[in-house]
Structure 1
Amino acid sequence: MLADRVENISNGALSDGVEIDASVKAVIEFIDTHFSDFSKKVKGEISASEKALTDKLCKYFNRVAGSYPFYFHHENVEDHSSGKSPQIDIGTLSREEQITIGDKNYNEFDSFFSIEAKRLPTPGQNREREYLIGHDKANGGIERFKKGIHGKGLRYSAIIGYVQKEDFDFWFLQINDWIEELIRTSKGEWIADDKLTKRGVQTDKQLTKFESDNIRVPVKSGTDKIKLFHFWISLVDDT
């Protein structure tokens, strides 16, 4: 089983007071280990499209994931029973035919840890808040996880941020300010736990990490949440 095979790969706590399944922990630690090196390969690509960057990221992850018991798939279909299914930017799949995480079974075609990607800033008119919410449809990064469009049934997923302008502190404050506004205006669909909190001490100028406990909508209970891990890399060439 995948969970048994990752014990020698994954170790240590990722978040105080939170026990994360070994299979999910291994994926998060894989991203922690390799994402910074990827940022060096795309440094200076401040106008590259989200699709192009994510295509490169998925190929890079698969190249360095040789010994890991999982692999990554670009534009992974969320619902194989629907011809109009949404696609997550990167799905994470076991190399085995079936795994169990928590109380749920995943077959060989299911993503057990889904990854969405967004540019910061998102280019285009009325798209400045797309890391969070869409302008006239539900295409915001966090929004899609909250509504189950992405990561339905998952307890953990991730959002990649490609910073192409400004710096990490700017976007951390800006996004949390936007969430504060949504808390005031959304009638309970956004709460304080939706805000980003820093994860660990930042020692790498290329990479910063956050997490958020996002309540599902429509709201059924205060415990119906998905935990998101946010990984941001800077593409701004500051040399």
Structure 2
Amino acid sequence: MLENNILSHNNCTNQKIELIDNAIDFIYNRLDEWKLYLYKEEQMQPCSENENNLTSKLVKFLTTYNKVEHNYYFNSEEPQKGQCKIDIACYGIDRKTILVIEAKRLPTPSKKREMEYVTGFENKNGGIQRFKLGIHGENYNISAIIGYVQNKDYKYFYEQINKWILELVKSGKDSTVKWSNDDCIKITVAEDNDKAHYKSNNTRISLENIELHHLFINLCI
């Protein structure tokens, strides 16, 4: 049933690609407004909130904008491969999923999981790792990861994520997937005061490469 509601980018038209790019911009452009909403309207301290609460609030916030613009629909906990679920799914007006989005806290609350934006090793719960394995975004060539930056700032984690990837390339200690220098975040789309938009092009097992958009938002004032 899920397959009927999936837009495959193997046959994606330029118009659909533009729709996806616009959806990513739609989300990115509202991240700082969402941050202010959390502080002022929700009376939250997003620097210490868990991932599920933050994602739930983000989906509700983006859905509120949809009532005005009617371009996109959002849902959380969308089923993916096997028993896994993606944090956020974005639909077009035809109700077909056009974009799947994973969300990760930066840093993770546990030192043992500090590389989870990149990989979870044998647990296979890493952000980039799941896309490379096809656990997330199997039917897509474009997807996104939102980084909830709760300490330091996005520039620090931009560098740190690339260091982790290069460490995996050198050590080979992640046996679940092959890492290469090409997996690093290399393209800067935008950098603002509290948020940034980067891109990477990541290889996958038995699938075409996937273009990952990395949307970082500094949540601490």
Instruction: Give the distance between the partners of 1:119 and 1:201, measured in 2 at CA.
Output: 20
Secondary structure in structure 2 of the residue aligned to 1:176: helix
For the Cα contact (< 8 Å) 1:115–1:159, is it kept in 2?
Answer: yes
Shift in Å at residue 182 of structure 1?
1.3
Partner in structure 2 of residue 69 of structure 1: 71
Partner in structure 2 of residue 191 of structure 1: 180
> In 2 relative to 1, CA 176–86 (structure 1 residues): closer, same or farther, beyond 3 Å?
same
Which one-letter code corresponds to 1:130 in the other structure? E
For the Cα contact (< 8 Å) 1:126–1:135, is it kept in 2?
Answer: no
Q: Establish whether residue 232 from structure 1 lines up as the match of residue 220 from structure 2.
A: no
> In 2 relative to 1, CA 19–131 (structure 1 residues): closer, same or farther, beyond 3 Å?
farther
- Could you list the runs of 5+ residues in structure 1 that have no partner in the other structure? 1-17, 97-107
1:169-188 alignment runs, 5 A limit: 169-186=155-172
Shift in Å at residue 198 of structure 1?
4.2
Partner in structure 1 of residue 132 of structure 2: 146
For the Cα contact (< 8 Å) 1:70–1:95, is it kept in 2?
Answer: yes
38, 45, 49: which is aligned to 1:42?
Answer: 38
Of Structure 1 and Structure 2, the greater helix share is in 2
Using the size of structure 1 for normalisation, the TM-score is: 0.76
Using the size of structure 2 for normalisation, the TM-score is: 0.82
Shift in Å at residue 92 of structure 1?
1.0
Partner in structure 1 of residue 199 of structure 2: 211
Which one-letter code corresponds to 2:195 in the other structure? L
Shift in Å at residue 54 of structure 1?
0.2
The two structures, once aligned, show a CA RMSD in angstroms of 2.2
Shift in Å at residue 195 of structure 1?
0.6
Partner in structure 2 of residue 22 of structure 1: 18
Measured against aligned partners, the alpha-carbon deviations of 1:164-184 in whole angstroms (never above 9, x if no partner) come to 011122111111011011122
Per mean C-alpha deviation after superposition, the further-off stretch among 130-139 and 55-64 is 130-139
For the Cα contact (< 8 Å) 2:190–2:198, is it kept in 1?
Answer: no
Measured against aligned partners, the alpha-carbon deviations of 1:199-225 in whole angstroms (never above 9, x if no partner) come to 2342x21111111101002xx48xx21
Measured against aligned partners, the alpha-carbon deviations of 1:38-61 in whole angstroms (never above 9, x if no partner) come to 122235421100000000000001
> In 2 relative to 1, CA 54–119 (structure 1 residues): closer, same or farther, beyond 3 Å?
same
For the Cα contact (< 8 Å) 2:118–2:161, is it kept in 1?
Answer: yes
Instruction: Give the distance between the partners of 1:165 and 1:56, measured in 2 at CA.
Output: 20
Shift in Å at residue 32 of structure 1?
2.7
Identity of aligned residues (%): 35
Instruction: Give the distance between the partners of 2:164 and 2:140, measured in 1 at CA.
Output: 25
Shift in Å at residue 120 of structure 1?
0.3
Instruction: Give the distance between the partners of 2:27 and 2:51, measured in 1 at CA.
Output: 18
Instruction: Give the distance between the partners of 1:173 and 1:197, measured in 2 at CA.
Output: 10
Secondary structure in structure 1 of the residue aligned to 2:152: coil
Instruction: Give the distance between the partners of 1:20 and 1:144, measured in 2 at CA.
Output: 24
Partner in structure 2 of residue 32 of structure 1: 28
Instruction: Give the distance between the partners of 1:65 and 1:77, measured in 2 at CA.
Output: 22
Which one-letter code corresponds to 2:18 in the other structure? A
Q: Which runs of 4+ in 1 moved over 6 A?
A: none
> In 2 relative to 1, CA 170–20 (structure 1 residues): closer, same or farther, beyond 3 Å?
farther
Instruction: Give the distance between the partners of 1:198 and 1:36, measured in 2 at CA.
Output: 21
Instruction: Give the distance between the partners of 2:156 and 2:16, measured in 1 at CA.
Output: 30
Which one-letter code corresponds to 2:216 in the other structure? W
Report the number of matched residues.
199
